[in-house]
Structure 1
Amino acid sequence: MKYCAFLRGVNVKGTNMKMAEVCGVFKEAGMEEVSSVLASGNIIFSSDQKADELKTILEKAMSEHFSYEAFLFVKSQEEIQNALHNNPFEKSEDQHIYIFVGNIGIEKILMNAFENASKAENETAEIVDDIFYWKVPKGNTLDSAFGKILGRKNLKDQFTSRNVNTLEKIVKKF
């Protein structure tokens, strides 16, 4: 089965790694047809194992190889295609759309945090099929009240997010 692993916190705040080296770690851990998409920690690969087993194997391999506490989320090709297809927002030049990948139930925690945060004009969020989607004006991603909540350390092992453009590139590479 084809999967994509979404690594959290790669090439930000001092956690720098080359995607070729990350791909090597995945291959050493038994993954096949390994390749990366962009430098933000999106690794496409094949395996016969289940996603939850792969998460454990790959987090351990990444943590040991790079000497850091690795967090990643594994989604099947079908799950990624569905998340992209179900995006409730229309793309526009002045907005970013993020799709969140994470632990079961994280979408409700994120929606609660979003609802309790002050919002920029035209900033909105929706949950579709247990996936959290966030639309924010360009330039406001890190400065928004919700954006600041996303960086909290107590949530770092719960989710990661990708811009819809990144998911389109991942689907194209499958």
Structure 2
Amino acid sequence: MPKRASRILGIDPGFGTLGYGIIDVVTSRVELVSYGAIYTKPREPIPDRLLKIYSELKNIIDKYSPSEAAVEELFFFRNVTTAIQVGEARGVILLTLREKEVPIFEYTPHQVKQSVTGYGRSEKGQIQRVMMKFLGMKETPKPDDAADALAVAWCHFLSRSFPGGARKR
């Protein structure tokens, strides 16, 4: 059995729902490891929600030992409150990854969609279907945030072959 070359943790930042996806890269082959979401409750105090994101992300990192992390950058939000909350969650994500000494790479939503579907404005359903096919999944990855996180990990996998698109933190 070949040794895994690297394990990539993809993260779709969110405050209520944070998606994560983990893939192994063995030479040019990609294998699905895990995916899911971290959920916080809307009525909980903001510091408690951020602590939950921190604690659960730390547990995921400890369990799966990623060698790299790919995080989607923020995009335009119409709702300022949502943008601030997702920004706070993203700060916790970056802090947790840095604390666990996982190298961080960042991609815009456009870069992620372009790398997965070839079109930078593709819809969520298309991302889900393509990731399902690429990773040999029998079911559509749910929630959408987890499918997006797998797409972020996939984008990083491709950018390693064609460097220049990633921004390393």
Both structures adopt the same fold (TM-score exceeding 0.5): no
Larger Cα-atom Rg? 1
**TM-score computed with the length of structure 2 as normaliser:** 0.29
**TM-score computed with the length of structure 1 as normaliser:** 0.29
RCO (CA 8 Å, sep 6+): is it higher in 1 or 2?
2
Q: Say which structure is richer in helix.
A: 2
